[in-house]
Amino acid sequence: MIRYVLLSLLVSSSVGTAYAQAQYPMLKDAYYKSAKSTISPAANSTLTSNSETFSWDHPGGYYYISAGTSKGGTDIYDSDSYFQEKSYTLDGLPDSGSVYVRIYYYDWDASQWQYEDYSYSMDVGGNSSSPITPNAGSTLTSNSVTLSWTNDSGYYWLDVGSSVGGADIFESESAIRQQSTTISNLPNSGTIYVRLWSYQNSAWEYEDYTYNMNANGDTGGGGSMDDTIITSSVYDDLDPDDKNIFANAMRGQGYEWVLDDDNVSSAELTDYLGREAKLLYHTGHGFTGYISTSDGGWYSSYIDKVAIENTVIATCLTVGDRDWKSKFVGTTQNIMGYNNNSYDFTDNEVARDLANGIESGKSYPQIWYEINNKQSSLYDRWVIYTKDNDRVVTYEADVANARTKTNDTFTPFANGKVLVASSITKAAKRGISFENAHFNVQKDFEEQQSHRDMISLSLSSLSEDAAIQMATQWVEDKASFDGVEFDRVTSISADGKRIGYQVRFKRVVDSLAVRSNTVSDYISLLIDESGIAASEYNWSLLKKRAQKGSLEILSVKQAIEAAADDIAAFYKSTETIKFVSAEPCLGYKETNASTQILVPAYEFSSTDGSSVIIDAATGEIL
């Protein structure tokens, strides 16, 4: 099938936009020529896997790939949109027979598309699961083990339990791509059962393995008894899984999980914060200087000193109270959390990233910045108090310019927990029109580079405009991002004095911003007077697909009515949330464990600078 893609996305001056838009539908039929280039695996070789990564040296910089059971066929795979990488992984290849791969590339000199055909023989063997290590049936002598397997299906799911098919010890929260996973919290004795799922021939299949345990309490991580962790939460409407995810990940690094209190009282929380442990992680509802507890609530004034070396308060606003800075004693190194509202749908990923960051050996301020910076709803509201020799420094993102005041009246939803400006619902009764198209998200490209640690940044006299200009130049020099537009800038400060700016760029497709409640397509640059201190981006490879039939779009009022209860449940603050604007956008939506699409959505923005992305067709939180 011929793809209708605007070539103006690819070219600027070498081919006129009007000409490209008019001619592209026939380019592939009129101008295909043979281009003698090399490919790996070598043409005419035998492939022994249903998933294969093809690499090539074709020129041009923009590519398509198709695969079929006949020359030029697309019955196995057809990429409907271009990509820029000189490699591509094809899944779902047959077990036997012949496969024909066609690589298209754009010839800039001739202003036309070229292609090259390659053929392969398939001999997979059909075995859905390969050996696992440690060998099945062996005895494990540690409470932590790394399981590795050679099955190369590309997508996996892992369950570990005390019975066949059980998952009471470990369960993958989503499909994983790597061929190994570290499991912690294994029992000292008895038998454990591992079920490895793999995606084969368009279906999930599994193999079961058993192991004998003889660990005697050895965590296997090489840590000392001083590496201890305390976790706490309270019975409420929030999901406390983030503390369990974090603690289990730290156990894999050799930490001892000495205490877990899932319904902590104020007196108990005071006790825990006064203990000498390496880490404390608390999750739940909060407010400035306040944490919700089983007996009403805990205030920072209840304690004079925090003895925990590194404290994580995963609640709304709690550590925005500057009183935390006075609670450091000799053992205290870091207290971190948020100076604004946070959400329950992001904390699991933050917990995982925090554990990975600690293992990397970076400073806690740098870790806390990096892991929150990637989250669309948290990049502008993190704060950390950290000891620097004989003083305590407050590093934070300044959200003062994000807060919005309004004289509008509000319509209540979710029993008054969610308030929406009446001007939004009145103006949007007919809804907002979207182009009737969806996009498959084929692959995410991520990169994070830190040139200078947060604690090395100094006072900056750099202007905001100069920082934006420097960041814009960096993006233009990369020349590998399509649809980039400036998004917003946030001041980064140390003890209230600016040390740099965080400049963010967004992706725009069909005139709509691409948004997400977690990690969206973004580019973020931390800039001080010396230049780029850190760069991060997440950029997806999108494949446009036509939406079959008409897509019914909800009005803004209908969308917020459908989503309000879930928003209230995810909101980690004790305050109400006030939405003052709603804009159309494209949002990420998971269709299964391994697939995402972009769909029409609304971005609701609140008075505190928070945003929530809602599916414009269903009213679901994306």
Q: Taking the chain (622 residues) in consecutive chunks of 10 residues, what is each chunk's mean pLDDT?
A: 32 31 31 50 79 79 84 83 79 82 79 82 59 78 78 80 81 73 77 84 79 62 62 89 92 90 92 92 93 92 93 92 91 93 85 92 92 89 91 84 63 90 69 60 73 80 93 88 91 92 93 88 92 90 67 87 88 80 89 75 87 92 88
Of 156, 153, 207, 216, the closest CA to residue 186 belongs to 216
The three-state secondary structure class of 120 is: strand
Q: What is the CATH number of domain 7-123?
A: 2.60.40.10
CATH 3.40.1390.10 fits 228-401, yes or no: no
Residue 298 CB-density burial (10 A; 0-12 exposed, 13-18 middle, 19+ buried): buried
pLDDT at 92: 80
pTM of the model: 0.62
- On the question of a cis peptide bond just before residue 365, with omega within 30 degrees of 0, the verdict is no
CB atoms within 10 A of CB 305: 13
pLDDT at 310: 96
Name the residue with tokens 């919290």. Answer: 185
Contact 617, 222 (CB under 8 A): no
Beta strands 290-291 and 228-232 are unpaired
pLDDT at 350: 93
pLDDT at 562: 93
Q: Which token pair is 312?
A: 């994580």
Domains 7-123 and 228-401 share a fold: no
CB atoms within 10 A of CB 258: 14
Domain ranges in the chain? 7-123, 132-214, 228-401, 410-615
pLDDT at 97: 78
CB atoms within 10 A of CB 206: 16
**Fold entry, domain 132-214:** Immunoglobulin-like (2.60.40)
